[in-house]
Amino acid sequence: MISMSNIYSIRQMRMEGRPIAHIAKTLEISRDTVYKYLEEEDLSPRPPVKRERGSVLDQYRPTIASWLEDDAKGWRKQRHTAKRIWQRLTDELGAEVSESTVRHYVGKLKKELGIGGERFLDLVWAPGEAQADFGEADFYVAGVRRRLSYFVLTFPFSNVGLAQVFPGENAECVCQALKDIFEYLGGVPARIVFDNAAGVGRKIGDAVRTAGLFSAFAAHYGFAFSFCNPNSGHEKGSVENKVGYIRRNLFVPVPSFDGGRRFNKTLLARCMALAEKPHWAKGEEERALFMEDRVALLGLPPAPFDVVRYERRRTDKLGRVRLESRHLYSTSPEFALTEVICAIRAREVVVADAGGTVIATHTRAYGDAPSDTSNPASQLALLARKPGAWRNSRVRAAVADELREYMDGLGRDALAERLRLMRNVAAQSGWEAMVEAAATALESTGRIDEAGMHMAVLSRTSTPIRYDEPVDLSVYDALARKGV
């Protein structure tokens, strides 16, 4: 293509009556070029679009496209790389082409087919809209280090996030956390976007399935909700970032508490204190931006929602009721083999008879390990913090007379120390191993201490050493007789 000034000269010279040959010679161009630009009707600027030139791989395009399209239907971790496509082209089809050429061609073809890396939108969040997710952190609960979940509700407009610690990630925990946060704020977010595995429901394709308790909770408070697509963390980047930020800033060093409710109340204020910093993008202080979030909140309903799920269960012959297939809750022998009503909340389970009269109240058990509230070991953690309850505890009633008398004779501080030791050993080795180890240590040394308990547990759990050939110790007897 010649310059626009030459095109102008061609037309001007022709208008002056100059011959085609003269124009071509003067401008040092061919006569065909002169004819071309004299006949051109539209000289408007054109977009600088690259002209596609043919590739040696065009003949293999249908094959490569079919491989890529099949990949898109399968597991993302098991797909063709450009290198693998090059290998197959050369090995299976005899193509003579470089790997770099294939890599460039495959990248271009993926774009044409709409296959490959995802493109994320910079989502805009209005005041009063929120995101929700869970994180995990370690805590000392009644002196025992445990890994618990913490629920985080963040407002992307202001980047303010609020957290609540719970032992699980079920619908009861989510709804209780939301209720406590709503009451702290004095209002309800207009819309909440949940992670696809947040305990209240799941998005499967275009269908959304929610827990019955959560559906009732959302209807009661009147907020709209939706779920992220599976494996789409970018849709809730605000809350994912806040989960890590809260862990680093509020849970280091490892927090310690006895009562989760009291800790959660102070946690809300501590979360708000983190908002006394400029917004990462807007520059204005997050707490100030949060005022717009609060103005956009819905009002609280006249009556609070009771976060509870009811189930009818039949007790076993010992009067225990089983929930979640692995956790046993005791009632009383007189209620053996009868139907009871279980009120299941985030932190407790209340068992009532068929008429609604409360029989027993228990701390709700979590985890994959089986539990039994009638097991004395379930009281050890609390006893270690409150040794004054030793005299009336199930632990005292369950141990042997010798161990009971020894513990009864200890002062408060010494008793608390022994109870902590028993708690730790029972947590690692079980109730029976702990009781046997304590009895063995007491019989051997007249006291219970960490070294004695540790050795007793090892002797109980270790197995004798077996040798491939019998050990002959007579050689040592012979040496001893010689005075060696």
Select the more confidently predicted residue: 71 or 17: 17
CB–CB of 142/258 below 8 Å?
Answer: yes
pLDDT in tens, 221-230: 999 988 875 5
Highest-pLDDT range among 120-129, 135-144, 456-465: 135-144
> What residues are paired with 170 via a beta bridge?
none
Nearest Cα to 154, choosing from 135, 171, 176, 132?
A: 132
pLDDT score of 14 more than 70: yes
Q: Which domains does the chain have, with CATH numbers?
A: 4-39 (1.10.10), 58-113 (no CATH), 129-295 (3.30.420.10), 309-372 (no CATH), 376-461 (no CATH)
What's the pLDDT at 47? 67
Distance CA 323, CA 325 (A): 5
What's the pLDDT at 120? 41
203 band by pLDDT with thresholds 50, 70 and 90: low
Nearest Cα to 344, choosing from 334, 326, 354, 329?
A: 329
**Exposure of 97 by Cβ count < 10 A (0-12 exposed, 13-18 middle, 19+ buried)?**
middle
A 10 A CB-CB count for 279 gives 18
Q: Where are the alpha helices (DSSP H) in 158-259?
A: 171-185, 212-221, 237-250
pLDDT in tens, 186-202: 999 999 998 765 577 66
Arithmetic mean of pLDDT over the chain: 85
Nearest Cα to 38, choosing from 52, 19, 64?
A: 19
Nearest Cα to 309, choosing from 224, 211, 223?
A: 211
293 band by pLDDT with thresholds 50, 70 and 90: very high
75 band by pLDDT with thresholds 50, 70 and 90: low
Nearest Cα to 147, choosing from 161, 128, 168?
A: 168
Give the rounded percent of residues in the chain with a pLDDT score beyond 70: 86
pLDDT in tens, 349-398: 999 999 999 988 888 999 888 888 877 877 788 888 889 989 888 888 88
Nearest Cα to 188, choosing from 242, 225, 157, 239?
A: 225
How does DSSP assign 415-434, residue by residue? HHHHHHHHHHHHHHH-HHHH
Helix, strand, coil shares of the chain, percent, nearest 5, are: 45, 20, 35
A 10 A CB-CB count for 416 gives 19
What's the pLDDT at 40? 85
CA 169 to chain centre: 10
Question: What global pTM score does this model have?
Answer: 0.62
CA angle 314, 355, 303 (to 5 degrees): 110
Nearest Cα to 270, choosing from 161, 142, 177?
A: 161
